[in-house]
């Protein structure tokens, strides 16, 4: 028995020596045995056998002296850390921030002193409501957290893709999050706000109405992290060398413009690829198509703050870009994925309190609460006050302090003195000139629990946001509200929400009420302050009005079959490549197809695994026989029907027309269908794709 067991061990080890490695071009090749490092324990002891536990005889009991097994299973048992209560599902990337111009006149923050200087950065995108195992395209706020490793300490600009928030005071944060999480008695729904608890809380919290308009808009279902804006949400301060204050709001503007998906599309993407946003970022960076944003600032003084229609410290309000134009001050480029997801993306700790000298806080009550909460939560998640010893959280500039010991300490102060002042001349000392200084704001106010009267207008900016949307976007908001409220079992909650909507837009409230079967409109909710109807529309708030100018960074899906026109396909690929976009082939079999001229083309997807919802536009390049065969396939018909219903541009070879018709799409239905019957048609199709969607089709499909 012992000899047989030894032979089996050698056989297993031999199989495991056949290790494959992915090359720079993505190809797989075998690694030679001599190139493989030796497996060791965490203590560094080389391991002879990683396939079998130490036993008393081949079938015998395990031995407690098997230190390798005990260490391995011990670590496995403890390798999960508590997930974040909010923003649990996240994905991150490394990059850099490049400063445009010196801002020394308004801030002494080191990062803004030298034009052209690059600062290392790490960015984590996330959803708010769902768990780590939820899907990417939930209707939700997206976290947009940026860690900048400046020469004077880490700066964490912890923001969202929406510039306002549900609540005005941090004491309500547990309530809004509890309400949107799975209902505690049943444990569902996951990563969804379409349930009674959420809308009950919202309908009882009028300050949430502005945020409701944003999360019911297409902003809450972005096409990609790469095509969404980011906002610091709160008002901060810049302080210059003379400690003079300038208020500042931070905005990230994506290089490729804004783009979202429609709700029906999001639902199907989550089924086809729940990692859609993660995969998109991974593939873009590995392809060298580096995502980029401009950091813009809205700068204003106390005089403007006093004259503005709303309180700049109210986190449920924004300053329209038409009133204060955002000033670009630098660019953020993401160019490298983490080597290990857990080590960096999961363990990164963002804290709003992390600001370098020259950046300070305002009295925004939500920001003040976040400054307390974010530090407090790291001990629970990462298990030690020494979470800054984890490389992703450590500053990249010199740092010196007297903090010592604690769980998992990686370093301790050297020398005799671990305190100051001391008589030994050891250790760091404070620097009144270089160090962080808070703005010397005079305070003469009673200690009390209160809400400023200037925070009382809950409907005016919500109305302004809705009025700033295109007709298409307004329709999407109404559809989203109808869907979400239809999932509420309590009719009182539905009616209460409609009463708020009537204060935002009467037609919107009436439309939602009608769709919900509310025959008699409720009385509009009593506002604390009468809503204003004189705020001008802000085009900057519309996604469609701020969409891309080209098809760059997007993806064309081409459905192909055996016998298709290889030259036409190559011309299409070349034009898309010239545009800065990518092409992926979908075929009846993942092995690919053979074109009419005998060329074999591998496919990225088979038709069952490559639905059109994964692409920004589609093309059908088929042979007559291929179109006839695919017309019998439900997945192929859905490929076409969904692309049409989602208002995407569709190109097709003449032979593909029968598949269109079988899918219920007339080949000449509208200008969004382009017949590839001449060389100029390819260029015309690519030009059409720059618009991303043919929204005029939406009324016809009635999705």
Catalytic center residues: 87, 160
Nearest to 690 by CA among 541, 556, 540: 556
Whole-angstrom distance, CA of residue 329 vs CA of residue 410:
37
Nearest to 138 by CA among 97, 176, 89, 85: 89
For residue 24, give both structure tokens: 């720079």
3-state secondary structure of 499: helix
Q: Which residues pair with 619 in a beta bridge?
A: 558, 651
Radius of gyration of the chain (CA): 29
* Cα-based torsion angle of the residue sequence 82, 124, 111, 101 in order, rounded to the nearest 10 degrees: -160
Biggest CA-to-CA distance, the chain: 90
Q: Taking the CB of residue 101, how many other CB atoms lie within 10 A of it?
A: 13
User: Helix-strand-coil percent breakdown of the chain, rounded to 5?
Assistant: 35, 15, 50
Whole-angstrom distance, CA of residue 422 vs CA of residue 424:
6
Yes or no: say if 531 and 502 are a contact pair by the CB < 8 Å rule. no
Q: Tell me how many degrees the CA angle 126-174-201 measures, rounded to the nearest 5.
A: 95
With 0-12 / 13-18 / 19 or more C-beta atoms within 10 angstroms meaning exposed / middle / buried, residue 187 is exposed
With 0-12 / 13-18 / 19 or more C-beta atoms within 10 angstroms meaning exposed / middle / buried, residue 191 is buried
Query: What is the DSSP pairing of strand 327-336 with strand 230-231?
Result: unpaired
Whole-angstrom distance, CA of residue 279 vs CA of residue 499:
41
Whole-angstrom distance, CA of residue 478 vs CA of residue 498:
11
Whole-angstrom distance, CA of residue 201 vs CA of residue 129:
15
């Amino acid at each position: 028995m012992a000899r047989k067991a030894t032979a089996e061990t050698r056989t297993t080890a031999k199989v495991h020596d056949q290790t494959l490695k992915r090359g720079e071009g993505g190809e797989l090749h075998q690694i030679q045995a001599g190139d493989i490092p030796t497996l060791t324990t965490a203590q560094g002891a080389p391991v002879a056998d990683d396939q079998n536990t130490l036993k008393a005889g081949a079938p015998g009991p395990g031995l407690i002296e098997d230190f390798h097994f005990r260490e391995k299973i011990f670590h496995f048992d403890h390798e999960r850390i508590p997930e974040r209560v909010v923003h649990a599902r996240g994905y991150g990337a490394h990059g850099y921030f490049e400063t445009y111009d010196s801002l020394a006149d308004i801030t002494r923050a080191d990062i803004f002193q030298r034009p052209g200087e690059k600062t290392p950065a790490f960015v984590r995108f996330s959803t708010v409501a769902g768990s780590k195992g939820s899907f990417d395209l939930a209707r939700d706020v997206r976290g947009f957290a940026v860690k900048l490793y400046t020469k004077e300490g880490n700066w964490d600009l912890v923001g969202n893709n929406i510039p306002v928030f549900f609540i005005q005071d941090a004491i309500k944060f547990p309530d809004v999050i509890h309400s949107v999480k799975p209902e505690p008695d049943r444990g569902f729904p996951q990563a969804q706000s379409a349930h009674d608890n959420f809308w009950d809380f919202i309908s009882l919290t009028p300050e949430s109405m502005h945020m409701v308009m944003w999360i019911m808009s297409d902003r809450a279902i972005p096409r990609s992290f790469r095509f969404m804006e980011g906002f610091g949400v709160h008002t901060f301060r810049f302080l210059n060398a003379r400690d003079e204050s300038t208020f500042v709001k931070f905005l990230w503007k994506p290089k490729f413009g804004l783009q979202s998906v429609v709700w029906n599309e999001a639902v199907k993407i989550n089924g086809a690829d729940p990692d859609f946003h993660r995969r998109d970022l991974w593939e873009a960076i590995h392809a060298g198509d580096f995502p980029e944003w401009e950091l813009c600032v809205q700068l204003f003084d106390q005089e403007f703050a006093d004259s503005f229609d709303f309180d700049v410290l109210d986190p449920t309000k924004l300053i329209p870009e038409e009133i204060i134009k955002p000033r670009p001050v630098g660019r953020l480029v993401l160019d490298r994925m983490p080597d290990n997801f857990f080590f960096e993306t999961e363990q990164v700790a963002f804290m709003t309190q992390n600001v370098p000298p020259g950046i300070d806080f305002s009295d925004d009550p939500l920001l003040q609460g976040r400054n307390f909460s974010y530090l407090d939560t790291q001990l629970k998640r990462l298990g030690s006050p020494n979470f800054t010893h984890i490389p992703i959280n450590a500053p990249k500039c010199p740092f010196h302090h007297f903090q010592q010991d604690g769980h998992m300490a990686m370093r301790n102060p050297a020398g005799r003195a671990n305190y100051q002042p001391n008589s030994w001349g050891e250790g760091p000392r404070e620097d009144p000139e270089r160090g962080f200084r808070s703005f010397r704001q005079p305070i003469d106010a009673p200690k009390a629990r209160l809400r400023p009267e200037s925070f009382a207008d809950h409907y005016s900016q919500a109305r302004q946001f809705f009025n700033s949307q295109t007709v298409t976007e307004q329709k999407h908001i109404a559809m989203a509200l109808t869907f979400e409220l239809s999932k509420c079992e309590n009719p009182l909650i539905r009616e209460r929400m409609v009463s708020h909507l009537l204060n935002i837009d009467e037609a919107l409230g009436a439309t939602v009420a009608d769709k919900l079967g509310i025959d008699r409109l409720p009385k509009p909710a009593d506002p604390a302050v009468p809503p204003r109807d004189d705020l001008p529309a802000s085009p900057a708030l519309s996604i469609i009005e701020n969409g891309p100018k080209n098809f760059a960074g997007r993806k064309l899906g081409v459905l192909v079959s055996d016998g298709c026109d290889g030259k036409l396909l190559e011309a299409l690929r070349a034009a898309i490549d010239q545009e800065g976009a990518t092409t992926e082939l979908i075929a009846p079999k993942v092995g690919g197809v053979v074109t009419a001229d005998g060329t074999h083309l591998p496919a990225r997807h088979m038709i069952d695994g490559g639905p059109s919802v994964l692409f920004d536009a589609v093309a059908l390049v088929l042979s007559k026989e291929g179109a006839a065969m695919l017309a019998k396939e439900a997945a192929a018909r859905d490929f076409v029907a969904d692309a049409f219903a989602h208002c995407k541009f569709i190109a097709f070879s003449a032979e593909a027309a029968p598949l269109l018709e079988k899918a219920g799409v007339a080949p000449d239905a509208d200008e969004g269908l382009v017949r590839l019957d001449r060389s100029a048609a390819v260029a015309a199709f690519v030009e059409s794709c720059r618009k991303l969607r043919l929204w005029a089709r939406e009324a016809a499909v009635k999705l």
